[in-house]
């Protein structure tokens, strides 16, 4: 898998929503123009905006499939680390809360080359009105929680599934347990014990998956890289199937 990385940040202030919306609209417009223009100009220009990697050949441009993935979940549950490890191959040691970032990765599944746009979102309540601007034209949704935070799994049922179903009804949903490496970490276990909690078990997560109607439950650790590739391979396959179901996509009502 070859990967490309791009990141955009929007400052939070009076005009944050407006600025964020303009960025989203611009990206959608660029995507449409690139898809409509098969010549070297349209596609090559878009690749230049996203990456320093040279533009693909005309034959590859014709075969490329584009899909969009949006990842949601509580703040600090591991969403951004998961995306960075998958797209860049490095684990970020410093936590910086996300406002708006996106990444692009080239994924090969079942003999098909897919350009997968990975949209990161802010999980904090401060961004509840901003976050829905990420949903339009999505093909698959990842709802994440942290295995070392039972509260983040509770919020999957209490908050995230409601939001996703409201804006993205009909799209495939994958439940992802992040920070798998902390399940048996002694320090983590001791900290949770202080509040009469324990790390989330696979059985608990599977029960939640069934309740919210997610297609699958997967676990991973961005720190050790365990399960990361499997998460995005499954997500890509789910995104490809979305097209066969009358192109169901997210929209803001």
In a domain, 23, yes or no: no
In a domain, 250, yes or no: no
**What pLDDT, in 10s, does the model give residues 122-146?**
999 999 999 999 999 999 999 999 9
User: Is 0.85 topped by the overall pTM?
Assistant: no
Please check the confidence at residue 62 and state whether its pLDDT lies above 60: no
Contact predicate 143/236, CB 8 Å: no
Please check the confidence at residue 157 and state whether its pLDDT lies above 80: yes
In a domain, 49, yes or no: no
For residues 114, 237, 28, 161, the Cα torsion angle rounded to the nearest 10 degrees is -150
Taking residues 32-43, what's their average pLDDT? 42
In a domain, 24, yes or no: no
Domain span including residue 89: 64-244
In a domain, 197, yes or no: yes
For residues 47, 242, 172, 164, the Cα torsion angle rounded to the nearest 10 degrees is 70
In a domain, 196, yes or no: yes
CATH for 124: 3.40.50.300
Q: So what's the pLDDT on residue 242?
A: 80
Q: So what's the pLDDT on residue 27?
A: 54
Domain total in the chain: 1
Choose among 20, 21, 108: nearest CA to 67.
Answer: 108
Q: What percent of the chain has pLDDT over 90?
A: 66
In a domain, 47, yes or no: no
Q: So what's the pLDDT on residue 58?
A: 47
Taking residues 157-177, what's their average pLDDT? 98
Q: What percent of the chain has pLDDT over 70?
A: 71
In a domain, 55, yes or no: no
């Amino acid at each position: 898998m070859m990967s490309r990385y791009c990141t955009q940040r929007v400052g939070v202030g009076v005009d944050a929503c407006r600025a964020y919306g303009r960025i989203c609209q611009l990206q959608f417009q660029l995507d449409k123009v690139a898809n409509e223009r098969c010549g070297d100009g349209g596609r090559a220009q878009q690749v230049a905006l996203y990456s320093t990697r040279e533009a693909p050949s005309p034959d590859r441009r014709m075969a490329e499939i584009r899909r969009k993935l949006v990842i949601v979940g509580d703040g600090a549950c591991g969403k951004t680390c998961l995306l960075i490890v998958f797209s860049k191959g490095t684990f970020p040691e410093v936590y910086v809360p996300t406002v708006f970032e996106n990444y692009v990765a080239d994924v090969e599944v079942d003999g098909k080359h897919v350009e997968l746009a990975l949209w990161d979102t802010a999980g904090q309540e401060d961004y509840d009105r901003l976050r829905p601007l990420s949903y339009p034209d999505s093909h698959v949704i990842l709802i994440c929680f942290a295995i070392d935070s039972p509260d983040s799994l509770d919020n999957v049922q209490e908050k995230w599934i409601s939001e996703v179903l409201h804006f993205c009804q009909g799209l495939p949903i994958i439940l992802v347990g992040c920070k798998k490496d902390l399940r048996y970490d002694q320090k983590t276990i001791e900290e949770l014990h202080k509040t009469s909690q324990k790390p989330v078990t696979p059985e608990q997560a599977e029960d939640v998956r069934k309740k919210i109607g997610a297609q699958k439950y997967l676990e991973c650790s961005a720190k050790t890289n365990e399960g990361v590739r499997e998460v995005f391979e499954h997500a890509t396959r789910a995104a490809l199937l979305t097209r066969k179901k009358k192109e169901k996509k997210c929209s803001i009502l």
